[in-house]
Chain A
Amino acid sequence: MFEQILFAIMALVIVVTSIGVVAVRNPVRSALNLVANFFALAVLYVLLYAQFVAAVQIIVYAGAIMVLFLFTIMLLNLGSPSELAERSDIKRPITWGLALLFVIVLAGGVFIRLGEAKPAGDDIGTVQMVGKHLFTDWVYPFELTSVLLLIAIVGAIVMAKRRL
C-alpha cells in the first residue's frame, strides 16, 4: 500500500514536471522542472530496488548535468535576456496532439501482454552487486565508456578554444 501511494505521488510529480519542461517558456523554469523530475525518478529507482542508481542519478543529473545547464543558460542570457523566448505557431498544437497519440499507442502496447515483477533479492541494486557485474560481465562496454568520456573531454577543450 505504502509503495503504491509513493508511486502515485511521484508519478504525479513526473507527469506535471515533464509537461512543465516542454510547456514553460522560460528556460530556467524548464531546467527547474527537469530537476524536480529527476528527483521523483530517483525515488522511483529506490522503489525498483536500484539504490545505487538512484544515488548516482542525483549526483550526476541533479548535481552536475543540470548545474551545467543552468550555468549555460545564465551565461548566454547575459547579453540578451529576451533572446531565448519562444514564439507560438501552428506547429505546437499539432505536435501536442501527436504526442498524445504517441502516449496512447505506447500505453496500449504496454497493456497487451506483460508479466508481473519477479521478487527481487534485497541486494540487487547495491553498490557491491552492480560493481561486481560492471567489472566482470560488462567490462568491455565499461572500458568503451571511459574512451567515450575521454573523447568528450578532448571535444569540450577544443570547443572552449578562443578561435574556432
Chain B
Amino acid sequence: MDALLSNAWVVIPLRILIVVGFVLTAVPALVWIERRALAMMQVRKGPNRVGPAGLLQPVADGIKLFFKEDVVPEKVDRFIYFLAPAGFLIPVLCAPAVIPWGPNDRLTPIADINIGILFLLAMTSLTVYGIVLAGWSSNNKYSLLGGLRASAQTISYELAMGLSIISVVLFSGSLSMRDMVLNQQGSLGLLDWHVFRLFPLGLIATGIFLIAMLAETNRAPFDLPEAETELIAGYHTEYSSMKFAMFFMGEYASMVTISAVMVTLFFGGWLSPLPFAPFTWIPGPLWFLIKLGVFIYLFVWVRATLPRLRYDMLMKLGWLRLLPTALVNLFLVAAIIWWQK
C-alpha cells in the first residue's frame, strides 16, 4: 500500500479522482439540500416525491436535462456559444487542486505548490469568462447585460477578497495552503484559527471574505448577473439542456470550492475545534466536511433571508465600504505583526 501510494502514476490520478469526484458528487447533494432547506425556511414541503424525502430528485433533474432538446438560437456566435459553458466549469474544477482536505499529504491536495493561494485566486477570477462570453455570444440583450454585470461585479469584489486573503498570508507567512492550515494548529483549538487572530482583525477579514465570496460565486444577494425578475435568467437565458446543466453544476461546484477555501483559510481546515480527546477521535477529513457543510448551509440561509441588492448599491458596497475596510484592516494587521516582532 505504501509503495503503491508513493508511485506518482498511481497517486496523482487517485488524488484527481478524490477531489473532482467529491466536488462533482457534492453538486446533486447540494441541490437537494438547497431545495429542502429553502422549502423549510419558507414553510412549504419542497421536492418529496422522487425517492425517500425527495433524495432522488437531483437524479431525476439530471436525466431530464440530458434528454431535453438542445436548442441553439439562430443568431448566436456558435463557437463562443459552445465554448462558454466549458470555460465556466473548467476553472471551477481546477481550483480545488491546491486545497488540502485532510492531514494525509499523500491523498490531498493534488499539488501542494508554494503559490497555492495565488493559483486559487487565479482560477476563481477566470470563472467570469464563461459568464461574460455566454452573455455576449447569446446575442440577447438580457444575456449581454448579465455578462456586463458579472464582469464588473467580479473585478470589484476580487480586490476586497484579495486584501482579506493577504491578511491570512501575513498571519501564516506562507502562500501554501497546507502551511496555512498547519499555522492554525495550537493548544487553544479554535482560538488559534485565523478568524480569532489579533481579535477582531481576523474576524473582520473573515467577514470581508464572506461577503466577497457570495459576490464571486454570483449567489444571492449578489445574483445580479442572472436576476430573474429583471434579466429573465441573465447570461444563461439562451442555454438549454446539458449546456445549461454545465452552468448549473459550475455554480454549485464553485460554492463547494469557495466554502472549502473559507474553511482552509480562516477556520482551521481539517483541524478539530477543541484539541482534546473526544473531538480528536473524529478524523480530519470529517471535520473538514462538517465545516464545509456549515458554510454551504450559510449560502442557502443567506439566499432565503436577504433580498437582491440594487446594482448601484452593489458597487457602493464593494468600492466604498469593503475596499477601504479591507485596506485599513490589512494595514493594522501588518503594523501589529511588525510591532510584535
Interface of A toward B, CB cutoff 8 Å: 26, 28-29, 32, 35, 51-52, 55-56, 58-59, 62-64, 67-68, 70-71, 74-75, 78, 126-127
Contact = CB atoms under 8 A, between A and B. Distances in A.
Interface stretch (B14-22, B128-136, B201-209, B329-337): B128-136
B119 interface: yes
Interface of B: 77, 80, 113-115, 118-119, 121-122, 125-126, 128-129, 132-133, 135-136, 144, 147-148, 151-152, 154-155, 158, 175
Nearest to B83: A32
5 closest cross-chain pairs (CB), A and B: A63-B125, A55-B118, A58-B122, A71-B151, A55-B115
27 contacts: A28-B77, A28-B80, A32-B133, A51-B113, A52-B118, A55-B122, A58-B122, A59-B121, A62-B126, A63-B122, A63-B126, A63-B128, A63-B158, A64-B155, A64-B158, A67-B129, A67-B151, A70-B136, A70-B151, A71-B151, A71-B152, A71-B155, A74-B132, A74-B144, A74-B147, A78-B144, A126-B114
B238 to A, nearest CB: 16
A75 B114 CA distance: 38
A70 B128 CA distance: 11
Contacts of A78: 144
A82 to B, nearest CB: 13
A59 B135 CA distance: 22
Most buried by B among A52, A68, A74: A74
Contacts, number: 70
A43 to B, nearest CB: 13
Contacts of A74: 132, 135-136, 144, 147-148, 151
Given A71-B152, A74-B135, A127-B115, 20 more contacts: A26-B77, A28-B136, A32-B80, A51-B115, A52-B115, A55-B118, A55-B119, A55-B122, A59-B122, A63-B121, A63-B122, A63-B126, A64-B125, A67-B129, A68-B155, A71-B148, A74-B136, A74-B148, A127-B114, A127-B175
Q: Which of A35, A63, A68 has the most CB of B within 10 A?
A: A63
Contacts of B128: 63, 67
B267 to A, nearest CB: 24
A154 B155 CA distance: 18
Contacts of A35: 129
